[in-house]
């Protein structure tokens, strides 16, 4: 396979997006280059969606943001784009009018805007979740097979990596959320750091100007810092607009923090904590009422979440589950069979393409299938499932049945990791037992087989009708 020319791909995307002058900001997640433009009419959407742009599998438009689906090598494309003069790749958009126009033209209204905001907040920090989560899985392996205890230096270092992921979660979210809201990301991180500071976090009997502050453990919490940064961004932008230029450098950050921190601790933090707790209890109630149904829905519906770019919006629920029950029996547990089922559907598509002597589709199916088995499904979803439809049904059948079995037997994922075979250690119970691990491996293998067979059968029928 020829080596990709990332510089050429970057230039093709810039040209498709209307040129350098039309690009307000560029960022990326695991498989997508996320571009914010100033004038949407200058973007050639049809060319990007029909694979006529070099290196682009598809184009997804969410809340005014143009997401070019590239694949796992998107960081290489992003690196080349960031080298182009005039491209803002810092994560901050200076064009306020463009941001307002995005909100005005957002399809789906307020709900879509909220989901897009949540997904955009979590996308940049996914690598932290993966690194910290899988480090926890490695720790379980070391404790089980190498018999290392908590006094061992290696264990202490690895535990620091694992636990810092959740303990300092408000800091990461604070930075990402504030940046997403076009405010100062470092002030957002500062707010998160204040919340987890030793004299604030879970402090008893604390007051501010005589006003009592609710005792809350903010480490690992999501909604308190999100509400805090929402308030902070409004205040920050107002101060930037109304204070004299020569006073902004000192007084904008000072006033922003002196007002935001007490408001967050007294009102927004407790509100966010109660909202998070309520959502967690509601999700757990649904799961406990019919776990087989809840996980089956995730298993069958994940491909649609991926297609609409909303899969990252599930992270708040995931972390609420981790905080409440210590693992994730719903989101990642349902996404695991869903992801590998995409792999099975893509491989069946490749086999049918081989039988039809279609070398191009065969290569696309094989590449997308292998990638999906590893937990990255965007190439398969955009390149195989939705353009051809019958692999979509096959993947949904495999993922749904896999999720049904996982929910029926109460299987779970213990740490945050991209669901798939490569994250096998995430399914190992920290207590050293093997039941959950074996169960999840069986579920994922069955999902692949069922998706492969369903896709092959449906594809054969479709080809016979066309003959």
Of 94, 120, 147, which residue sits at a domain end?
94
For residues 231 and 300, membership in a common domain is answered with: no
**Same domain membership, residue 245 and residue 334:** no
**Mean pLDDT, residues 66-74:** 82
Maximum average pLDDT range among 291-305, 320-334, 350-364: 291-305
Do 298 and 341 belong to one domain? yes
* Model confidence at 105: pLDDT above 70: no
pLDDT of 205 = 92
The last residue of one of the domains, among 66, 94, 122, is 94
Residue 104 has pLDDT above 60, yes or no: no
pLDDT score of 111: 58
Domain presence at residue 213: yes
Q: Which phi and psi angles does 66 have, rounded to 5°?
A: -95, 115
The answer as to whether 330 is a domain residue is yes
- Together in a domain, 354 and 440: yes
Answer yes or no: do 212 and 297 share one domain: no
With pLDDT > 70 as the criterion, what percentage of the chain qualifies?
91
Give the mean model confidence (pLDDT) for residues 235-247: 92
Residue 37's CATH number: 3.30.1360.60
Residue 181 has pLDDT above 90, yes or no: no
Tokens of 451: 């998706």
115 falls within a domain: no
Q: What is the pLDDT of residue 430?
A: 81
Q: Are residues 336 and 376 in the same domain?
A: yes
Q: Is residue 445 part of a domain?
A: yes
| Residue 420 pLDDT exceeds 60 | yes
Do 249 and 393 lie in one domain? The reply is no
Residue 99 has pLDDT above 60, yes or no: no
- Residue 383, domain member (yes or no): yes
pLDDT over 60 (residue 162)? yes
Does residue 360 surpass a pLDDT of 90?
no
The pLDDT of residue 1 is 45
Angle between helix 315-325 and helix 269-289 axes, rounded to 10 deg: 80
> Percent of the chain at pLDDT above 90?
43
Contacts of 75 (CB under 8 A, 6+ apart): 28
Q: Which residues contact 379 (CB under 8 A, 6 or more apart)?
A: 31, 57, 69, 71, 72, 367, 368, 371, 372
How many Cα atoms occupy the beta-carbon half-sphere of 335 within 13 Å?
26
User: pLDDT at residue 300 above 90?
Assistant: yes
The pLDDT of 417-436, averaged and rounded, is 86
pLDDT band at 142 (very low <50, low <70, confident <90, very high): confident
- Which pLDDT score, from 0 to 100, does residue 94 have? 35
pLDDT tens digits, 193-234: 999 999 999 999 999 999 999 999 998 888 899 999 999 999
> 151 falls in which pLDDT band (50, 70, 90)?
confident
pLDDT attached to residue 109: 55
Shared-domain flag, residues 312 and 445: yes
Whether 325 and 233 share a structural domain: no
φ, ψ at 148 (rounded to 5°): -85, 140
Q: Assess whether 440 and 323 both reside in one domain.
A: yes
Whether 153 maps to a domain, the answer reads: no
Domain end (from 94, 114, 129) = 94
Q: Does the pLDDT at position 20 exceed 70?
A: yes
Q: Which of the pair, 289 or 91, is modelled with greater confidence? A: 289
Query: How far is it, in rounded angstroms, from Cα 247 to Cα 225?
Result: 27
Choose from 121-130, 151-160, 259-268 the range with maximum mean pLDDT. 259-268
The residue to which tokens 């690895």 are assigned: 158
Q: Which CA distances in Å does 13 have to 73, 81, 102, 181, 436?
A: 14, 9, 20, 25, 44
| 93 confidence band (pLDDT: 50, 70, 90) | very low
- DSSP H or E run through 298: helix 291-307
Please report, for residues 149, 152, 161, 326, the alpha-carbon distance to residue 156 in angstroms, rounded to integers and kept in the order given: 9, 6, 9, 20
- The answer to whether residues 413 and 328 touch, using CB atoms and an 8 Å cutoff, is yes
The residue among 130 and 342 whose pLDDT is bigger is 342
pLDDT at res. 467: 59
Q: What residues make up the domain containing 203?
A: 168-275
Average pLDDT rounded to a whole number, residues 130-139:
80
For residue 390, pLDDT beyond 90? yes
pLDDT band at 92 (very low <50, low <70, confident <90, very high): very low
The first and second tokens of residue 238, run together, are: 């107002």
Name the residue among 285, 269, 270, 271 with its Cα closest to residue 317.
285
Cα of 72 vs its chain's centroid, Å: 14
Q: What total number of domains does the chain contain?
A: 3
Whether residues 220 and 174 share a domain: the answer is: yes
What confidence score (pLDDT) does residue 440 get?
96
DSSP per residue, 75-123? HHHHHHHHTSTT---SS----HHHHHHHHHT-TTHHHHHHHHHHHHHHG
Evaluate whether residue 433 is within a structural domain: yes
Name the residue with higher pLDDT: 3 or 68: 68
In a domain, 108, yes or no: no
Interatomic CA distance for residues 277 and 99, integer angstroms:
32
Q: Say yes or no: 236 and 343 in one domain.
A: no
């Amino acid at each position: 396979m020829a080596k990709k020319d990332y510089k050429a791909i970057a230039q093709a995307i810039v040209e498709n997006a209307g040129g350098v002058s039309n690009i307000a900001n560029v960022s990326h997640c695991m498989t997508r280059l996320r571009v914010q433009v100033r004038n949407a009419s200058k973007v050639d959407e049809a060319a990007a969606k029909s694979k006529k742009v070099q290196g682009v599998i598809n184009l997804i438009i969410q809340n005014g943001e143009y997401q070019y689906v590239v694949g796992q090598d998107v960081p290489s494309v992003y690196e080349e784009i960031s080298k182009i003069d005039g491209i803002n790749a810092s994560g901050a958009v200076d064009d306020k009018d463009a941001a307002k126009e995005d909100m005005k033209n957002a399809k789906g209204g307020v709900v879509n805007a909220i989901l897009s905001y949540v997904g955009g907040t979590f996308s940049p920090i996914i690598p932290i979740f993966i690194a910290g989560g899988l480090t926890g899985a490695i720790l379980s392996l070391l404790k089980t097979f190498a018999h290392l205890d908590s006094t061992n230096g290696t264990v202490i270092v690895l535990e620091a990596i694992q636990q810092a992921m959740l303990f300092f979660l408000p800091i990461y979210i604070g930075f990402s959320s504030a940046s997403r809201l076009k405010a100062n990301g470092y002030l957002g991180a500062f707010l998160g750091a204040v919340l987890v500071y030793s004299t604030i976090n879970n402090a008893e009997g604390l007051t501010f100007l005589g006003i009592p502050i609710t005792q809350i453990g903010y480490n690992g919490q999501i909604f308190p810092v999100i509400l805090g940064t929402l308030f902070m961004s409004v205040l920050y932008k107002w101060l930037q607009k109304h204070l004299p230029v020569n006073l902004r450098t000192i007084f904008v950050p000072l006033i922003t923090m002196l007002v935001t921190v007490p408001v967050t601790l007294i009102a927004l933090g407790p509100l966010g904590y109660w909202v998070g707790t309520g959502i967690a209890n509601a999700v757990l109630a649904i799961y406990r009422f019919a776990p087989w149904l809840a996980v089956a829905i995730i298993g069958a519906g994940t491909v649609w979440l991926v297609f609409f770019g909303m899969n990252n919006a599930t992270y708040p629920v995931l972390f609420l589950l981790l905080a409440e029950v210590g693992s994730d029996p719903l989101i990642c547990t349902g996404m695991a069979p869903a992801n590998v089922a995409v792999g099975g559907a893509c491989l069946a598509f490749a086999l049918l393409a081989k039988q039809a002597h279609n070398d191009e589709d065969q290569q696309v199916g094989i590449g997308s299938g292998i990638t999906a088995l590893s937990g990255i499904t965007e190439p398969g979803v955009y390149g195989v499932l939705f353009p051809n439809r019958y692999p979509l049904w096959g993947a949904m059948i495999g993922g749904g049945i896999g999720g049904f079995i996982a929910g029926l037997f109460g299987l779970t994922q213990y740490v945050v990791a991209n669901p798939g075979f490569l994250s096998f250690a995430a399914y190992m119970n920290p207590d050293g037992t093997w039941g959950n691990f074996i169960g999840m491996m069986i579920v994922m293998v069955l999902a692949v087989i069922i998706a492969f067979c369903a896709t092959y059968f449906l594809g054969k029928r479709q080809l016979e009708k066309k003959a």
